[in-house]
C-alpha cells in the first residue's frame, strides 16, 4: 500500500526551565480570556510546554483555575479525547496533540530514531481535517487529504526527511514497487537521500515515468514529479562552470545514478602545465655528450607527457559525450516541465475564466434572490392585510348573523302581533255578526211596530234600542279606527324591518319572504276590514225608517218620527265615520323615504260622499 513515512531530524525534546514557567505564568496573568492565552502561547512557541510537561505544574494549574477553571477543564478534556482518537491511527507513537477549532489539529512528535507513518493518519481522516505537524521552532508541516490525494505543505526554516513508497507500472506493464527518500523544506525537495529503489530500472527517462505515475503525493502544492523536476532546475541554476582546460562546455545537471536516485555529476578536472627545455648551442664539445643525454631525457619525459595528455583528452572526450547526454536528458526534463507548466497555465486561465463566469452568475443570483426576498416581503405584507381583512369580514359576518337573529326575533314578535290582531279581527267580525243579527231583529221589530201601530211606550223602547245600537256602532267605529292606527304602526315597523333586512346581505331572500308574508297579511287585513265596514253600512241602511209611511201613521207617530229623524242623522254621521275603504288611505313618506303616517288619499271625495249620504232623498 502506498505510504509516506516522515523522519523529523530536528530535536523535538522539550527542555523545561524556570524561565519558560515564569513566562507562561506572566501570560496567564496578563491575558483577559483563555483563548487569548492560547494564541499568545502559540506565538511565543510555549504552547507545547503548556500542554506537555507544565500542564500538571501546581503553580500554573492554580493560577489558571483561579481565572478559567471551567474553560481549562474543557480544554484538558478535549486534549485527552483527541489524543485517544489519534492513538488509533498512530499506535506506539509518543506525541502531543491539541485543537482550538473544529477539524484543525496541531501535533508534535517526540524525538526518536524511527520515522512516522503520516499517510496512515491521513487515510483514516476526513477530507476537511487539517493536521499541523511541528518541526520545532517556527517550522511545521500542514498535512491534508483531498480525495485520494495527500498534500504536504512545509513552512519555516527547518527540514525533514520523507520516504515515499508507491506502486507503478513499467513500459512492459509490470508492477514496480518504488521507494524514494528525499530531504524537504519550505522550498520543496532539496535532494535525494540514500539509494532509491525502482525495481532495478536505471534508465533516467524510465525512472521519471515511474515518478510521474505517483498522483497521490503533493509537496507544497505540486505533484511528486513536478517537485522532483523543480529540484533539478534548482540544482542546474546553482552549478559552477568546470575548469576550462578539459570541461569548458560541460555543466552540472541533476541525474539519476545507476541505483535510481538523484545526484550531481562531478567530472574530474585537471590542470596541466608543460615546461619546455632550453636549447643548448654546444660550442664546447666536452658537453656534447652531456647535452645529448639531457635531450634524450627530455624526449622521454615529453613522450610520457604526451601519453598522459592523450589519456586526459580521451577521458575529456568521454566526459563531454556524457555531458551531452546529460544535457539532452536535462533538456527533455525541462521541456516536459515547460509543457506541464503550459498545461497548468492554460488550466489556470480556464479556471480564472470559470471563476469570473461563476462570479457574474453569483452576482446575478444574488440580485434575483434580493428581488425574490422583496417579493416575499411584499407578499407577506399582502397576506397580513388579507388576514386582517378576513378577520374584519369574519367579525362583520358574526355581527350580521347576530343582527339577523335579532331581526328574526323581531319578525317572530311581529308575527305574534299579527296573530293578536287576527284574533281581535275575528272578535270584531263576531261582534259585527251579532250586531247584524240584532239589527235584523230590530228591523223586524220596527216593521212590526209600524204595522201594528204600537203604543208610545213601545216606540220609546224602540228609540232606546236605536240609541243603544248607535252607541255600539260608535264604539265599533272607534275600535276600527284603533285597529287602523295599529295597522299603520305595523306597516311602518314592517317597512323598517324590510329596509334593515335588505341591508343584511346575503340574507336578502329571507327579508323578501318576510316582506311577501307581511304584504299578504296587510292585504288580507285590509280586505277584511273593508268587508266588515260594508257590512256595517248595509246593516245601518236597513235600520233606517222608511219615509213612505202613510199620513195617519206619521201623525200618530210624530214623536217617533222626530226621534227617528234625530237617530237617522246620527246614524248617517256614523256612516261617514265608518264607510271608508282601505283603498282611500295612502302612506306618507319623508324625503329620505322614511314612513311618517297613513292618511286619506282624497279628503274632498270623502266629504262629498258624506254630504251625499247626509242629504235626504226626495221621492
- Show the DSSP H helices in 453-507 as ranges: 456-503
Q: Say if strands 262-264 and 254-256 run parallel, antiparallel, or are unpaired.
A: antiparallel
CA distance 533 to 429: 10
Q: Say if strands 130-136 and 104-109 run parallel, antiparallel, or are unpaired.
A: parallel
Domain count, the chain: 2
Contacts of 540 (CB under 8 A, 6+ apart): 439, 473, 571, 574, 575
User: What's the pLDDT at 252?
Assistant: 34
Stretches in the chain below the pLDDT threshold 70: 1-14, 111-115, 136-137, 234-299, 451-459, 504-589, 593-619
Of the residues 215, 241, 267, which one is the last residue of a structural domain? 241
CA distance 500 to 50: 90
CA distance 154 to 165: 19
Are 133 and 118 in contact, with CB atoms under 8 Å apart?
A: yes
349 part of a folded domain: no
CA distance 217 to 393: 73
User: What's the pLDDT at 36?
Assistant: 92
Instruction: Give the number of other Cβ atoms within 10 Å of residue 187's Cβ.
Output: 13
Using alpha carbons, list the distances in angstroms from residue 285 to 103, 112, 191, 467.
Answer: 101, 83, 69, 220
CA distance 233 to 227: 10
User: What's the pLDDT at 117?
Assistant: 72
Alpha-carbon Rg of the chain, whole angstroms? 68
Using alpha carbons, list the distances in angstroms from residue 421 to 418, 429, 476, 498, 544.
Answer: 5, 12, 15, 20, 32
Of the residues 193, 221, 241, which one is the last residue of a structural domain? 241
**Can you say whether the dihedral through the CA atoms of 43, 46, 48, 51 is positive or negative?**
negative
Of the residues 241, 269, 298, which one is the last residue of a structural domain? 241
350 part of a folded domain: no
Each as own residue / partner, the long-range contacts of residues 550-556 (CB below 8 Å, 24 or more positions apart, any chain) are 553/450, 553/453, 556/453
CA distance 182 to 224: 11
Is residue 153 helix, strand or coil?
A: strand
Length of the chain as a residue count: 619
310 part of a folded domain: no
With CA atoms as reference, report the closest residue to 52 among 92, 26, 24, 31: 24
Q: Does residue 183 have a cis peptide bond before it, meaning omega lies within 30 degrees of 0?
A: no
Are 158 and 139 in contact, with CB atoms under 8 Å apart?
A: yes
Beta bridge partners of 585: 600
User: What's the pLDDT at 111?
Assistant: 58
C-alpha 120 chain-centroid distance: 42
CA distance 471 to 564: 15
With CA atoms as reference, report the closest residue to 487 among 448, 519, 459: 519
Domain that holds residue 565: 395-614
CA distance 109 to 120: 15
Where b means 16+ CB within 10 Å and e means fewer, 498-535 reads beebeebeebeeebeebbeebeebbeebbebbeebbee
* Helix (H) or strand (E) segment spanning residue 181: strand 175-185
Beta bridge partners of 168: 176
Residue 200 region by backbone torsions, left for phi larger than 0, else alpha for psi between -120 and 50, else beta = left
User: What's the pLDDT at 358?
Assistant: 93
Dig out the grid coordinates for 500 from the structure: 334593515
Return the residue matching grid coordinates 502561547.
41
358 part of a folded domain: no
Is residue 596 helix, strand or coil?
A: strand
With CA atoms as reference, report the closest residue to 112 among 229, 13, 44, 252: 13
Contacts of 481 (CB under 8 A, 6+ apart): 577
* Percentage helix, strand, coil for the chain under 3-state DSSP, each rounded to 5: 60, 15, 25
Contacts of 268 (CB under 8 A, 6+ apart): 315, 319
Is residue 254 helix, strand or coil?
A: strand
27 part of a folded domain: yes
User: What's the pLDDT at 379?
Assistant: 92
384 part of a folded domain: no
Contacts of 256 (CB under 8 A, 6+ apart): 196, 202, 204, 207, 208, 262, 263
CA angle 124, 126, 128 (to 5 degrees): 145
Amino acid at each position: 500500500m502506498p505510504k509516506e513515512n516522515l523522519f523529523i531530524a530536528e530535536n523535538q525534546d522539550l527542555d523545561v526551565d524556570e524561565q519558560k514557567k515564569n513566562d507562561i505564568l506572566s501570560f496567564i496573568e496578563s491575558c483577559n480570556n483563555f483563548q487569548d492565552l492560547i494564541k499568545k502561547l502559540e506565538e511565543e512557541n510555549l504552547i507545547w510546554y503548556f500542554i506537555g510537561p507544565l500542564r500538571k505544574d501546581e503553580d500554573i494549574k492554580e493560577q489558571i483555575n483561579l481565572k478559567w477553571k471551567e474553560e481549562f477543564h474543557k480544554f484538558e478534556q478535549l486534549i485527552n479525547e483527541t489524543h485517544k482518537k489519534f492513538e488509533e491511527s498512530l499506535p506506539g507513537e509518543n506525541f502531543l496533540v491539541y485543537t482550538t477549532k473544529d477539524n484543525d489539529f496541531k501535533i508534535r512528535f517526540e524525538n526518536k530514531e524511527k520515522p512516522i507513518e503520516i499517510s496512515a493518519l491521513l487515510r483514516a481522516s476526513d477530507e476537511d481535517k487539517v493536521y499541523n505537524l511541528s518541526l520545532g521552532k517556527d517550522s511545521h508541516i500542514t498535512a491534508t487529504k483531498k480525495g485520494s490525494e495527500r498534500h504536504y505543505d512545509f513552512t519555516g526554516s527547518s527540514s525533514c526527511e520523507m520516504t515515499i513508497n508507491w506502486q507503478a507500472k513499467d513500459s512492459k506493464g509490470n508492477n514496480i514497487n518504488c521507494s524514494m527518500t528525499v530531504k524537504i523544506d519550505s522550498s520543496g525537495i532539496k535532494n535525494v537521500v540514500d539509494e532509491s529503489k525502482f525495481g532495478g530500472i536505471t534508465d533516467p527517462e524510465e525512472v521519471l515515468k515511474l515518478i510521474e505515475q505517483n498522483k497521490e503525493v503533493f509537496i507544497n502544492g505540486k505533484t511528486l514529479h513536478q517537485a522532483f523536476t523543480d529540484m533539478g532546475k534548482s540544482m542546474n541554476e546553482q552549478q559552477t562552470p568546470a575548469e576550462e582546460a578539459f570541461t569548458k562546455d560541460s555543466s552540472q545537471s541533476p541525474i539519476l545514478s545507476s541505483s535510481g536516485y538523484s545526484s550531481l555529476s562531478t567530472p574530474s578536472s585537471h590542470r596541466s602545465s608543460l615546461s619546455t627545455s632550453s636549447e643548448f648551442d654546444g660550442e664546447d664539445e666536452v658537453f656534447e655528450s652531456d647535452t645529448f643525454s639531457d635531450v634524450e631525457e627530455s624526449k622521454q619525459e615529453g613522450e610520457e607527457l604526451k601519453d598522459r595528455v592523450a589519456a586526459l583528452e580521451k577521458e575529456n572526450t568521454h566526459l563531454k559525450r556524457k555531458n551531452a547526454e546529460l544535457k539532452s536528458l536535462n533538456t527533455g526534463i525541462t521541456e516536459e516541465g515547460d509543457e506541464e507548466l503550459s498545461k497548468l497555465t492554460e488550466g489556470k486561465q480556464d479556471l480564472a475564466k470559470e471563476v469570473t463566469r461563476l462570479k457574474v452568475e453569483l452576482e446575478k443570483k444574488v440580485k434575483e434572490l434580493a428581488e425574490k426576498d422583496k417579493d416575499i416581503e411584499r407578499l407577506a405584507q399582502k397576506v397580513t392585510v388579507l388576514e386582517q381583512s378576513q378577520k374584519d369580514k369574519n367579525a362583520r359576518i358574526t355581527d350580521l348573523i347576530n343582527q339577523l337573529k335579532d331581526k328574526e326575533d323581531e319578525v317572530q314578535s311581529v308575527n305574534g302581533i299579527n296573530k293578536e290582531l287576527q284574533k281581535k279581527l275575528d272578535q270584531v267580525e263576531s261582534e259585527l255578526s251579532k250586531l247584524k243579527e240584532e239589527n235584523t231583529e230590530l228591523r223586524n221589530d220596527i216593521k212590526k211596530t209600524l204595522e201594528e201601530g204600537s203604543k208610545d211606550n213601545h216606540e220609546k223602547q224602540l228609540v232606546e234600542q236605536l240609541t243603544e245600537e248607535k252607541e255600539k256602532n260608535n264604539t265599533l267605529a272607534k275600535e276600527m279606527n284603533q285597529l287602523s292606527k295599529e295597522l299603520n304602526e305595523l306597516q311602518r315597523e314592517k317597512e323598517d324591518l324590510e329596509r334593515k333586512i335588505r341591508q343584511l346581505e346575503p340574507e336578502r331572500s329571507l327579508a323578501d319572504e318576510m316582506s311577501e308574508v307581511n304584504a299578504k297579511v296587510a292585504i288580507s287585513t285590509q280586505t277584511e276590514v273593508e268587508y266588515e265596514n260594508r257590512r256595517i253600512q248595509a246593516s245601518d241602511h236597513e235600520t233606517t225608517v222608511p219615509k213612505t209611511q202613510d199620513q195617519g201613521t206619521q201623525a200618530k207617530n210624530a214623536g217617533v218620527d222626530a226621534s227617528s229623524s234625530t237617530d237617522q242623522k246620527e246614524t248617517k254621521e256614523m256612516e261617514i265615520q265608518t264607510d271608508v275603504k282601505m283603498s282611500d288611505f295612502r302612506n306618507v313618506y319623508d324625503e329620505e323615504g322614511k314612513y311618517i303616517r297613513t292618511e286619506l288619499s282624497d279628503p274632498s271625495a270623502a266629504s262629498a260622499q258624506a254630504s251625499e249620504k247626509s242629504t235626504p232623498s226626495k221621492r
